[in-house]
Structure 1
């Protein structure tokens, strides 16, 4: 089980609040993670962001260390970008850099990853036997994100799209 961490972090127009720590079946290549709610300036839940801690082939090649989803009604406000930067102080407790992945063709997430300054590594096909395998060819684009240090994300303000 992962250790407790500070429960609230903010950056720009969002605050992330720890909702739960999830312990998983590591025999399938999954890793435990922190699940945060993403809230806007009015404290409305606009989505979630996860930080996965571990080192498995599934994490390195397919899932990545960070996963997020912003509800469709709230997209287009840079909430996922701000949430990633709010999460950076938590990530830095474990890693200097992390792997971010995106399905090829998910242009919105690709733009967020590029805006974060992550470096493209390669593309991989989700292999049979992987927990994310659906039986349909699915390609993941992998990036390395060197997590910012020195800045105080809780006091920062992100540039708007």
Structure 2
């Protein structure tokens, strides 16, 4: 039984609580398609719709599919974004898939399951392999990626953040 689904306005309370759980000082929450910058959930959903339609994607961006991941008791555990192709930035630092887990649900196996379900969708979208990245010091994310078959390709310095990024490839059979 999948726990992944596209966000709707009916999820507004949980989406706002998810955003608030990361605090006011964060500039971005991985895997949320700029949720932190959105003026409202409705405007965020409208942007997601635009980015999922290949005819409406702004220049320089790629198609993205946003999903929410829920626990058995319907609590919003995480968000994950699947990009169906890469631009230069994503090829170097962001990858095909970005995800974020609510702080209170970390280290409980949700990240691995959420990624596993998203890999099925990636294959359905016609991808043969996907690139995932994480900061070199993010051991939790590295474990999630490796548990799903990620093979470390290399490490690169992100000149913007001055952080070393691990780049992993996962083959979709």
Q: TM-score, normalised by structure 2?
A: 0.68
CA-based RMSD? 1.7
How far, CA to CA, are the matches of 1:42 and 1:21 in structure 2?
A: 27
User: Secondary structure of the equivalent of 1:105?
Assistant: coil
TM-score, structure 1 as length reference: 0.73
Give yes or no for contact 2:149–2:170 (8 Å, CA) kept in 1.
yes
Paired position in structure 2 for 1:6: none
Correspondent of 1:94 among 117, 121, 126? 126
Count of residues paired in the alignment: 127
Instruction: Report the 3-state secondary structure (helix = DSSP H, G, I; strand = E; otherwise coil) of the residue aligned with 1:26.
Output: coil
Any runs of at least 4 consecutive aligned residues in structure 1 with deviations exceeding 2 A, and if so which? 24-27
Q: Report deviation, 1:71.
A: 0.5
* Structure 1: 5+ residue stretches without partners: 1-8, 128-132, 150-161
Structure with the higher helix share, 1 or 2? 2
Q: What does 1:49-128 correspond to in 2, within 5 Å?
A: 49-92=80-123, 93-127=125-159
Using a 3 Å threshold, how does the CA distance of structure 1 residues 77 and 58 change in structure 2: closer, same or farther?
same
Q: CA deviation at 1:96?
A: 1.2
Q: Determine which structure has greater relative contact order: mean sequence separation of CA pairs < 8 Å that are 6+ residues apart, divided by chain length.
A: 1
